[in-house]
């Protein structure tokens, strides 16, 4: 190659580099694998939903989409990992009630829940179901309630985290039905459920999807579902109103967040594709069969929803006196 050709080639390369740099960020996104941080142990409800969404994103965006389980700290470990990641859309966070609750209960968090994240969409939710150790010696919710009122703090309930929606919901259940019971927190649904099945703790309010198989297999006793009506995934499990005469409703929900500072055009790509995934009939049918409802809201709708939920949890925290050491 002579000198003129070398100069011309160098000029073309420089022009190409400038042209690529001038492209909107969305046109180049993604440039590497995307990680979806799930702040719970593997095998939980949010991971089930996230994996189905990841399959769609991988096909649509032509890059691997990996699930990154970061349990611990009541979801704060996972949230901190995302808050410290580059604001380029390649690391997403599956948030839930605990993300909002922690902001009210914990001091010195390594992130600002209000400033370090931006909403993408509310993805899914599922009702809680009250499950019991199958050897507890009760046949239904009324039997359990009579036992709980008699034994009080000699019995214990599990939750999937201190300050989690399952924890605060059980505290509200105690108030609704006027009984006492000790709280034993775990780092996620699977560990808590294992100890309920083993009889180390007596009951828990858990996400419905992971309970379905265990209830149908006879490993757990399904006492009541915290919803307005029975769920098709557990048609034989009554609502609390049916089982105990008093309405009681509680749910877990899951959404997607990105780092604040992520270019708006990348936020738009991610929000659009996640919503498309959640609107896919096959995905919706799979989650519905497991007892989950899907949404796929706008970012603005999800932001308004989280503000409403924060206010509701503030009331529950005040009533229960919940603290995190």
pLDDT digits (tens, 9 = 90+) for 23-35: 455 678 999 999 9
Per-residue pLDDT tens over the stretch 17-68: 444 444 455 678 999 999 999 998 888 888 999 999 999 999 999 999 999 9
Res 290: pLDDT: 81
Give the CATH fold of the 127-251 domain: D-Maltodextrin-Binding Protein; domain 2 (3.40.190)
Average pLDDT of the chain, as a whole number: 90
Cα gap 325→113, rounded to integer Å: 19
Name the token pair of 187: 């780092």
Cis status of the peptide bond prior to 37, with omega within 30 of 0: no
Cα gap 126→205, rounded to integer Å: 12
Res 210: pLDDT: 87
Label residue 198 exposed, middle or buried (CB < 10 Å: 0-12, 13-18, 19+).
exposed
Are 32-125+252-320 and 127-251 the same fold in CATH? yes
Q: Model pTM? A: 0.79
Contacts 24+ apart (CB under 8 A), 102-105: 102/74, 102/75, 102/76, 102/163, 102/324, 103/310, 104/310, 104/313, 104/314, 104/317, 105/163, 105/317, 105/322, 105/323, 105/324
Domain ranges across the chain: 32-125+252-320, 127-251
Per-residue pLDDT tens over the stretch 194-206: 999 999 999 999 9
Residue 89 scores a pLDDT above 80: yes
- We find that the CATH architecture of domain 32-125+252-320 is 3-Layer(aba) Sandwich (3.40)
Name the token pair of 200: 């180390």
Q: What percent of the chain has pLDDT over 70?
A: 91
């Amino acid at each position: 190659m002579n000198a003129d050709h070398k100069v011309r080639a160098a000029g073309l390369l420089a022009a190409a580099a400038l042209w690529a740099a001038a492209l909107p960020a969305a046109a180049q996104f993604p440039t590497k694998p995307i990680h979806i941080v799930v702040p719970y142990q593997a095998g939980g409800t949010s991971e089930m939903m996230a994996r189905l969404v990841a399959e769609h994103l991988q096909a649509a965006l032509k890059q691997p989409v990996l699930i990154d389980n970061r349990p611990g700290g009541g979801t704060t470990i996972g949230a901190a990992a995302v808050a410290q990641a580059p604001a380029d859309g390649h690391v997403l966070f599956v948030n839930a009630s605990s993300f909002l609750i922690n902001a009210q209960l914990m001091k010195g968090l390594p992130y600002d829940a209000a400033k370090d994240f931006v909403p993408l969409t509310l993805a899914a939710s599922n009702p809680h179901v009250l499950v019991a150790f199958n050897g507890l010696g009760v046949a239904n919710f009324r039997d359990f309630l009579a036992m709980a009122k008699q034994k009080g703090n000699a019995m214990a309930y599990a939750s999937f985290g201190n300050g989690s929606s399952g924890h605060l919901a059980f505290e509200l259940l105690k108030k609704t039905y006027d009984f006492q019971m000790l709280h034993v927190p775990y780092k996620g649904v699977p560990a808590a459920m294992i100890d309920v099945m083993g009889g180390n703790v007596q009951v828990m309010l858990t996400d419905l999807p992971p309970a379905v198989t265990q209830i149908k297999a006879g490993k757990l006793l399904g006492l009541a579902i915290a919803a307005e009506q029975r769920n098709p995934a557990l048609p034989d499990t009554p609502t609390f109103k049916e089982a105990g005469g008093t309405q009681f409703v509680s749910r877990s929900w899951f959404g997607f967040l990105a780092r604040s500072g992520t270019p708006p055009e990348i936020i738009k790509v991610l929000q659009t594709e996640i919503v498309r995934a959640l609107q896919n009939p096959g995905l919706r049918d799979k989650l519905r069969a497991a007892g989950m409802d899907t949404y796929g809201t706008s970012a603005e709708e999800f932001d308004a929803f989280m503000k409403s939920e924060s206010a509701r949890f503030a009331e529950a925290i005040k009533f229960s006196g919940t603290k995190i050491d």
